[in-house]
Structure 1
Amino acid sequence: MTARQVTLPVHNNAPNVGVQAESVHGDITVYFLPPGAGPEEKLRVGVNYLNGGMPHKAGELIYDVLMSGHTSSEAWFHWLLAVMSGRTLRQLSEEDIAKLSAARSRLPLHRQDVWADGLRVISRLLDALDSQQPELRRLVRNELTGLDPLLREKIVRHLQLFLSGPVEDEVWTISVADAKKAQCANGRPERVWRFFYPAPANPRARQPVSVATTGRDVALAVVTTAVVATAAGWLFWVVLTTGRVGPIVALLLSIGAGYLCSAHGVAWRFNVERRRAKDAVHRPPQQRKAAPSGGFANRVDRLFKQYAGRYVPEGIDRAEWLNLTAGIRRHLRDEIVEVYRETRVGDKEIAWLIRHRIGDLKTRWTNGTLWAYREQLRTPVRTRALVVLGGLVAAACWLLVIATALPQEPLTGVAATVVLFVAAWRAVRGWSRIVLDSRHFAADQAEYDQRMADSWAAHKRWKRKLASKPEDAEMAAWLDCDCRLLIEKAMAHYKLCPTDVIAYAVIEAPAKPYLKRGRVRNGPWRYGRYELLVFLLTPDGVRQLSAQLDFEQATFHNLRRANYRFEAVAAVRVAESDRHARTFELALVNGELTTVDVTEASTDKLQDGESPLTLSEAALDASGLTTTLHVLEGVAAEGKEWIQRERQRGRKREETFLSAMRDLLD
């Protein structure tokens, strides 16, 4: 019975809420080949491509190494895996077989090293492909299980599709067992998220405003002070000539009182101005035009809203928290936008700093220090009293001095008094501003230094946390384990063993909205969520299993199954955009359509020296789309007859290949 009625489209039309974590690790060069690279470097990069699930590129690089004369067992081992990885025997091209034939004489025979052991196991697997001898199958299993674990994992990972016959069941059993062990190995649930975050940008903060006092201001203050001293000195001389002790004592007393008034007055004024400035920061912001959508400022806005909504202190309503901290959050947001706008730093690279700022805001709220500045900047009563008292005493004393001097020298005394008060007013204002500017700058500098020290400490903690991010090869290996286990789940559901399956294919596509993605230089995107499609071709038709994979937790969700005859497949298409984004479509004759966005545009987030075409090929190689098309396009074109015709078409090629391989490896 067919089950076309349960065929479900897996194209996710949910609105894309934006990537919340994204990284392009441009400093990681596992797939970067410098100009003029030698054989060792090419081999290293080729092996990296193979470990990353991109065998086509790996095969090209390693073959160049072999043809240059570097015929180590390691190079041969990895090249053979690259040629056969993710392919069936019938998918080998004439060029592949020609390369094998041309390379036969170059293989170093009878070497005794771990890679040669791997080559011998591959040879034994090929010998056992069509064998029905239980002894040979047991021998293959024993040799495979006794092989170095790293090499065994490579063989069972890359030769799954290539092997057929009874040996396929043996290898598949080992493969599934290894996948179950390795699926969450090396702390996968705790480490995967780190791959999606970029290296944190260095912390920045708004620099303190430099002292506004100029040389002209200082010169003017000095000149006015000299004028005050001259006028006061003349009045003192007149009072001194009278011989009266009271005015002389009052004049001397006015100097001390004036100093107390000025010194404590500056402190009072400093506290008032600084508290007023901090109140302005904490005050709810005025409504203003939103930042342009998609711009840097708009993305920073979203991050502030996201983290402010996440870090809500206990005991306060979320809406109240957001309302009471709106002003200071706006101030912090404006600072971030200002200091990073022209630096070409992305919002994801400073997300850690925004999170740190909001976390610090929550901490100060919780421990009651958010508004502590109000108490710290409250001028003591003693200080205010000294200012008032000093001013009154100084004024009284100068009145007595002037009253004494004017009768002695009326005209000159009036002129000296006017000059004294005008110059004193300018001098006090000038020196006050100079001192206040200096104190404000010192306070701002102290706050800046403290904030930067805290930020660098947070930066160090975040870098230490990201230091254990997985390598790209680990991400690919974990994904391969997920695919193997999903295939096993499909086989178990349909009660199939590997020899019951003519061919299978898996498509690995991002499940939108995936929220997290990351890649290394020249590597394919890795995602936080995948849409996996498994196609099993059996003599009775196609068995399809779709599932969403939570890559961080290694769990499958929303499993959907479908069965249909070969004749039910109407068309298989892949649409490629100008930016190399690919969409897979499988249409059934009843009109149902399965659509999957397999690869994204390769022109997005390019690093220096990266090629869109190279990235597109890497993404295609890693997606499994090529094998899927080979399997399904034949079914769509020929129906059930494809099975028999494909076997006939491939028989001669299989014989040629096996002959070449046995000559090569024996």
Structure 2
Amino acid sequence: MDAAQAPPGANSIGGNASGVLQNSGIVIGDVKLYASDSEDPDELFETGLHRLHGNMPRKAALSFSAAYDRGMRESRLWFYWALAILSGRSDMDLDAESYAELSACLSAVEAASTDPFDRATIVVKGLFELSMRIRETEMEALTEEDRKAIMVVLELLRKLSDDRKSEITRHLDRVIDGTIMDLSMQMLREQLQERRSEHARADRAPRFFLPDPMTPRPREMPNWTAPGAWGVIVGGAALALLAGAILYFGADTTAQVLTAAGAIAALALIVRCAPAMMLRRERVKLRARHYQGSATDMLWVRWPQVMAFRDRFAQVLEYAFREQAPPGRAPEDWLAETGQARLTLSCRTAERYGDQDDMETLYWLAYHYADQFADASASGLLHHKDAGVSPVSPMAKTGLVGAGALLALATAGAAALSEGWGAVAAVIGGLTFAPAIALLGYHGLRIGLRRRFDEERRRWAKELFTAELAQYDHWREWLRNRPSDMEMSDWLDADLTWLRMQAMNELRLTHHDVLAHFAITEPDPFARAARVPDGPIRYSKYRLRTFLLTHNGVRIYSADLDFNDGSHLNPSMDNFRYDMIISAELVKSGVRYGRTGAALVDRNQIQPNMTADVALAHEMKLALHGRFIRIVIENQRYQNFAPQTPAEEKALLDLAMETSGAVEGLRILQSIAGEGRDWIVTERARHRRFIDRELFTRNAAINRIDRATPAIESHEPAALPAPRRTSELPIAED
């Protein structure tokens, strides 16, 4: 079995968005990449790096700040800390604390340094300062000096390693001024094309949404039994005694001896030849019960929990068999043909796994059965129950025929040698011996071969279990190449940037025409969901929205994203003027969990009588004149991710808001709602006053240091503030 080939059903499960399969969300692994209780600065730095690559820049900045507070002073810290501060932001979004930290990071390197991270930090500094300088300047008003400075910085960017170049263009997406972005468009397009498909995305992405398969359990086959065999044997013995009495009292000695000898010889032949045929019949019967179903396997399923498990697994089996129907067979016909067998498989699976709550870890087994039955149909095993079972030797059938012939000859000979009533007694005795021998031989062998039958059952169960183990090992080996959470984040970020470029291309806008932009992700209602410990929830399907804020209003370009291959489907465009925006807020919604997933419901309908199967999710609600735009910010919709405490709810909301892009989007939309169409002028004026104040404060501090110390030997930044806490998010009651 090729480990690189996807196991049966893997891609169907990983990309399933039908709502048929249970979809409670899965947690992958137990390694905490995004959390650390360590005091070691190197470990704190690594945690921050993971957070940054996982699209959690605000949390990454906290980790880098903690590493700095514990004594770390390295070039890589300045670079990644600066990226974390600027990621997902424009220069107008920086508060005083972030600006102070950024200034310290950018001033910590020397222009003449050859360290790779220092060179990358110099590029970040150049891009940031150029963007601030020309943000207020129209394209046509750029001086020749500005144009040369832009080209110098872009040339430095091109000379960086591919990793540093990719990190800068990814995280400084909203910082880089439109003019600079337009001049570097070709380079960005080439990088995006590569980032969206690199690391075999189409093959590996579905694996992220698949749980580790549950270890298969062997089935305990019940011991073989022969109900009623002893009664039949007693009846056969009675017939034999009757035949003997008839011969004893009615036939002469020669007839008695001849008939008895024939009966004993026939019984001996049956005992010698019948076992092979009976064992083969048992093998055929075992296969028929597996591929055609057996009502006896359903009789024991009575406990409510086990019955519920059986019914849930039966639904999964039906979905898997429909997906894996043999070529040329209509799914409905295939389901009708295998209905009894699927019910039997559901009962047998409930027998082994009925104590488990996580059905998703057994999806692999359902698809294994579906693939097994499809192969059996192709090979003929499904319709010819003796296919694949070795035939018995022709001598066995000949021996059974010989046993009957021998008894008949002995009876005929005894009758021929007798006269009158003796001949009649010989015939009646021989005819009575025939069923007695058949009953004694067959049912006596059933009891005598009981151990052999048990061995056949165990051998068949082992054969089925070996096939399950092989499929289980295939799944485990295939899932070893599951993408990391950082790779998932990078693919999604590249998809969002690519969508924005597609929107601008259709609208014929340049980056200089766009005053600001941001993107918000919304999961598909039935998307598969997975996360690593302490990480954000990733989805197999998204609804992407990129907001382009131009001089005249807001353009929203939306598309459905199939994350497994990065394809964009169903694009649409929405437009409205700035004065159409009334408000933007974060509101709560209800979630009702079901057998196949969860559904959002109106929160007003579930309070105050909130039941146990109802929790809360959050939506971003944009109120326009005459309509609403609601974007779900998922953090509690999947049952396995539902928080247990208010602190967990707060942490999940912060994480969902940051990774979905809703934090910056909500701030900008609220600013527009408050300022109207002049929001960008007001924002720029406010930002200019902020920068002037920070520069004045910084220069005053430097002058005080210069007067106190004539020469500064260290090129380190001044002490920075302690780690910051994330701001509270106002949540409205909808």
Residue identity matched to 1:567: D
User: Quick one: which of 89, 92, 95 aligns to 1:90?
Assistant: 92
Structure 1 contact 208–448 (Cα < 8 Å) conserved: yes
Structure 2 contact 586–621 (Cα < 8 Å) conserved: yes
Give runs of aligned pairs for residues 258-337 of structure 1, distance below 5 A: 258-267=267-276, 269-270=278-279, 279=288, 296-337=309-350
| Counterpart for residue 511 of structure 1 | 524
Gap runs ≥5 in structure 1:
1-14, 214-219, 399-423
User: Quick one: which of 487, 492, 502 aligns to 2:505?
Assistant: 492
Shift of 1:93: 2.3
Shift of 1:478: 1.4
User: Quick one: which of 608, 622, 628 aligns to 1:593?
Assistant: 628
Any idea what the Cα deviations from partners look like across 1:468-492, whole Å, max 9, x if unmatched?
3322212211111111122122223
Structure 1 position 621 matched with structure 2 position 634: no
Shift of 1:540: 1.5
Distance across 2 between alignment mates of 1:435 and 1:158: 78
Give runs of aligned pairs for residues 347-366 of structure 1, distance below 5 A: 348-366=360-378
Structure 1 contact 198–349 (Cα < 8 Å) conserved: yes
Shift of 1:109: 9.3
| Counterpart for residue 568 of structure 2 | 556
Shift of 1:434: 4.5
Give the secondary structure class of the aligned counterpart of 1:558.
Answer: strand
Structure 1 contact 509–530 (Cα < 8 Å) conserved: yes
Structure 1 contact 120–665 (Cα < 8 Å) conserved: no
Distance across 2 between alignment mates of 1:491 and 1:304: 46
| Counterpart for residue 584 of structure 1 | 620
User: Quick one: which of 183, 186, 190 aligns to 2:196?
Assistant: 183
Distance across 2 between alignment mates of 1:206 and 1:466: 25
Residue identity matched to 2:82: L
Distance across 2 between alignment mates of 1:394 and 1:432: 24
Comparing both chains, which one has the higher relative contact order based on Cα–Cα distances under 8 Å and sequence gaps of 6 or more? Answer: 1
Give the secondary structure class of the aligned counterpart of 1:605.
Answer: helix
Shift of 1:537: 1.6
Structure 2 contact 541–561 (Cα < 8 Å) conserved: yes
Structure 1 position 454 matched with structure 2 position 463: no
Give runs of aligned pairs for residues 373-452 of structure 1, distance below 5 A: 373-374=385-386, 376=389, 381-385=397-401, 388=404, 432-452=445-465
Any idea what the Cα deviations from partners look like across 1:539-562, whole Å, max 9, x if unmatched?
212222122222223222222222
TM-score, normalised to structure 2, is 0.72
Distance across 2 between alignment mates of 1:72 and 1:493: 44
Residue identity matched to 1:262: V
Residue identity matched to 1:630: R
Give the secondary structure class of the aligned counterpart of 2:164.
Answer: helix
Structure 1 position 164 matched with structure 2 position 177: yes
Shift of 1:85: 0.7
Any idea what the Cα deviations from partners look like across 1:424-479, whole Å, max 9, x if unmatched?
99998996455332122111121122222222222233333333332221221111
| Counterpart for residue 604 of structure 1 | 639
Gap runs ≥5 in structure 2:
1-16, 135-142, 415-436, 591-614, 703-714, 718-734
Summarize the Cα distance change of 1:255–1:33 in structure 2 as closer, same or farther, 3 Å threshold.
Answer: farther
Structure 1 contact 54–618 (Cα < 8 Å) conserved: yes
Shift of 1:526: 1.8
Summarize the Cα distance change of 1:157–1:296 in structure 2 as closer, same or farther, 3 Å threshold.
Answer: farther
Residue identity matched to 2:573: R
Distance across 2 between alignment mates of 1:53 and 1:166: 25
Give the secondary structure class of the aligned counterpart of 1:545.
Answer: strand
Distance across 2 between alignment mates of 1:660 and 1:495: 43
Higher alpha-carbon deviation: 517-526 or 369-378 = 369-378
Structure 1 contact 531–547 (Cα < 8 Å) conserved: yes
Give the secondary structure class of the aligned counterpart of 1:58.
Answer: helix
Distance across 1 between alignment mates of 2:178 and 2:697: 20
Instruction: Provide the identity percentage.
Output: 24
Structure 2 contact 283–456 (Cα < 8 Å) conserved: no
Structure 1 position 341 matched with structure 2 position 354: yes
Give the secondary structure class of the aligned counterpart of 2:619.
Answer: strand
Residue identity matched to 1:464: E
Distance across 2 between alignment mates of 1:661 and 1:383: 108
Residue identity matched to 1:552: N
Structure 1 position 641 matched with structure 2 position 682: no
Distance across 1 between alignment mates of 2:147 and 2:306: 67
Shift of 1:55: 0.8
Structure 1 contact 546–559 (Cα < 8 Å) conserved: yes
Summarize the Cα distance change of 1:316–1:167 in structure 2 as closer, same or farther, 3 Å threshold.
Answer: closer
Aligned length: 610
Higher alpha-carbon deviation: 280-289 or 519-528 = 280-289
Distance across 1 between alignment mates of 2:543 and 2:114: 44
Distance across 2 between alignment mates of 1:527 and 1:99: 34
Distance across 2 between alignment mates of 1:646 and 1:620: 22
Residue identity matched to 1:554: G
Any idea what the Cα deviations from partners look like across 1:121-172, whole Å, max 9, x if unmatched?
1122233231542111110000011111111111111112123364354456
Summarize the Cα distance change of 1:396–1:446 in structure 2 as closer, same or farther, 3 Å threshold.
Answer: farther
Distance across 2 between alignment mates of 1:267 and 1:208: 22
Any idea what the Cα deviations from partners look like across 1:292-341, whole Å, max 9, x if unmatched?
99954333222211222233334544443333322222222222222122
Distance across 2 between alignment mates of 1:651 and 1:78: 26
Residue identity matched to 1:637: G
Shift of 1:510: 0.9
Structure 2 contact 619–631 (Cα < 8 Å) conserved: yes
Residue identity matched to 2:480: A
Structure 2 contact 523–539 (Cα < 8 Å) conserved: yes
Residue identity matched to 1:351: Y
Shift of 1:100: 5.0
Higher alpha-carbon deviation: 328-337 or 565-574 = 328-337
Distance across 2 between alignment mates of 1:396 and 1:480: 94
User: Quick one: which of 477, 497, 511 aligns to 2:490?
Assistant: 477
Give the secondary structure class of the aligned counterpart of 1:552.
Answer: coil
Distance across 1 between alignment mates of 2:286 and 2:473: 31
Give the secondary structure class of the aligned counterpart of 1:126.
Answer: helix
Residue identity matched to 1:352: W
User: Quick one: which of 688, 697, 701 aligns to 1:651?
Assistant: 688
Distance across 1 between alignment mates of 2:119 and 2:26: 38
User: Quick one: which of 140, 157, 163 aligns to 1:150?
Assistant: 163
Shift of 1:567: 0.8
Residue identity matched to 2:565: Q
Give runs of aligned pairs for residues 81-160 of structure 1, distance below 5 A: 81-99=83-101, 112-129=114-131, 130=133, 132=143, 133-160=146-173
User: Quick one: which of 587, 602, 608 aligns to 1:575?
Assistant: 587
Structure 2 contact 25–640 (Cα < 8 Å) conserved: no
Residue identity matched to 2:523: P
| Counterpart for residue 65 of structure 2 | 63
Any idea what the Cα deviations from partners look like across 1:361-386, whole Å, max 9, x if unmatched?
11121111224444759886325335
Residue identity matched to 1:462: W
TM-score, normalised to structure 1, is 0.78
Residue identity matched to 2:680: I
Shift of 1:495: 2.9
Root-mean-square deviation (Å): 4.6
Structure 1 position 195 matched with structure 2 position 208: yes
Residue identity matched to 1:117: R
